[in-house]
Amino acid sequence: MKALIFESFGGPDVLRYKEISDPSIKEGEILVRMKAIGLNFADVYRRKGNYHLAGLPPYILGYEGSGIVEQVGDGITNIKVGDRIAFADVPFANAELVAVPIEKAILLPDDISFETASSVLLQGLTAHYLTKDSFEVKAGNSVLVHAAAGGVGQLLVQIAKLLGSQVIGLTSSAIKAEAAISAGADHVFLYEEQWSEKVKEVTKGHGVDVVYESVGSTLADSFETTKIGGTVVFYGMAGGDPAPVDPRMLMDTSKTLTGGDLWNVLTSYEERNTRSKQLFNWIAEGKLVLKEPTTFSLKDGADAHKLLESRNSTGKILLIP
């Protein structure tokens, strides 16, 4: 099979499109012929050597994708050859064929394309658990979303709105603010503004019920905008490490700080498929709207990485074998 591989850490130019051996499946695994592969910043970090990679080179990036089942291992009865499946956390996805553990396979309904599945799963399942498990968003809540124009951010905005909440978004530019407004945010403020004061203004001084904090360095301000008894959900630190939190502040204000990691939630075949079904239903009903992805041939993966790192892309970037 052909795969996008690299043998040393570095920039996009270390990526090579080469013929390598087909993967062999074990009991409890299926072999999937890939149709679309999601590109994520985690792939960039692994390529650079910022994230640990097990084993020896050549390395294969990619954890998110979709395709058609070509072979089924022993002991599997719930998936058959020809089924359309997707996954959000299976390694070595930047290849024509991928061995997928059965517990990580997500069955695709007929009305969800390979491109849609590979565009939404990782970010969509993240937004799903954040609004269901980390803090259960309900009608009438006020919600503050950091990086509201990003992939997870826009999905958080949409999900919070469809659940009946007031949504305030934060972005780094006017162009990104437009994207957050298009996603449904009621108010959008820029980081360069006195945004914590503006959030208090639109919540009549009370603050929001929940802040979805993905920047890190803004954690203290996030607490400033949270109402007494409110919650800050910390799930990323794209802008740097957060300052330490004084537990006495939490006690005095009855505020909650909770963390979130998708892999602590996706613990079984049933969890993956139940949560994905909710996402797919929202998409089919037009309640979740995805931007058209930008696609590259898998052999042109280096160009896709360059676009992602430029931060000039809008919507998901997909690699097509």
Q: Please write the tens of the pLDDT for every residue from 161-206.
A: 999 999 999 999 999 999 999 999 999 999 999 999 999 999 999 9
Q: Which residues of 251-268 are buried (b: 16+ CB within 10 A; e: fewer)?
A: eeeebebeebebeebbee
User: Can you give the pLDDT at residue 52?
Assistant: 78
Q: Is the pLDDT of residue 238 over 90?
A: no
CATH number at 139-259: 3.40.50.720
Q: pTM for this one?
A: 0.93
Contacts for 187-191 with beta carbons within 8 Å, 24 or more apart?
Answer: 188/148, 191/218
Q: What 8-state DSSP symbol labels residue 224?
A: H
The mean pLDDT value for 42-60 works out to 89
Distance, in Å, from the CA atom of 166 to the CA atom of 203, rounded to the nearest integer, reads 10
User: Can you give the pLDDT at residue 316?
Assistant: 92
Q: Is the pLDDT of residue 306 over 90?
A: yes
User: Can you give the pLDDT at residue 207?
Assistant: 97
Q: What 8-state DSSP symbol labels residue 80?
A: -
User: Can you give the pLDDT at residue 268?
Assistant: 93
Q: What's the burial of 113, exposed, middle or buried (CB within 10 Å: 0-12/13-18/19+)? A: middle
**Mean pLDDT of all residues belonging to the chain:** 95
Residue type, 214: S
Q: Is the pLDDT of residue 313 over 80?
A: no
User: Can you give the pLDDT at residue 300?
Assistant: 98
Q: Is the pLDDT of residue 57 over 80?
A: yes
Supply 173's token pair: 């530019």
For CA atoms 46, 123, 67, 70, the dihedral sign is positive
Listed in order, the ranges of the chain carrying CATH 3.40.50.720 are 139-259
Listed in order, the ranges of the chain carrying CATH 3.90.180.10 are 2-120+266-320
Q: Please write the tens of the pLDDT for every residue from 277-301.
A: 999 999 999 999 998 999 999 999 9
3-state secondary structure of 190: strand
Q: Is the pLDDT of residue 51 over 90?
A: no
Distance, in Å, from the CA atom of 75 to the CA atom of 225, rounded to the nearest integer, reads 52
Domain 2-120+266-320 -> CATH class? alpha beta
User: Can you give the pLDDT at residue 136?
Assistant: 97
Distance, in Å, from the CA atom of 49 to the CA atom of 100, rounded to the nearest integer, reads 24
User: Can you give the pLDDT at residue 294?
Assistant: 94
User: Can you give the pLDDT at residue 99?
Assistant: 98
The mean pLDDT value for 46-54 works out to 87
User: Can you give the pLDDT at residue 25?
Assistant: 96
Q: Which among 114, 95, 71 has a CA at the least distance from the CA of 21?
A: 95
Backbone angles phi, psi at 39, to 5 degrees: -100, 130
Distance, in Å, from the CA atom of 116 to the CA atom of 19, rounded to the nearest integer, reads 28
Q: Please write the tens of the pLDDT for every residue from 222-237.
A: 999 999 999 999 999 8
Residue type, 106: I
Distance, in Å, from the CA atom of 10 to the CA atom of 128, rounded to the nearest integer, reads 33
Q: How confident is the model at residue 251 (pLDDT cuts 50, 70, 90)?
A: very high
Total Cβ atoms within 10 A of residue 313: 15
The DSSP string of 108-121 is PPTTS-HHHHHHHH
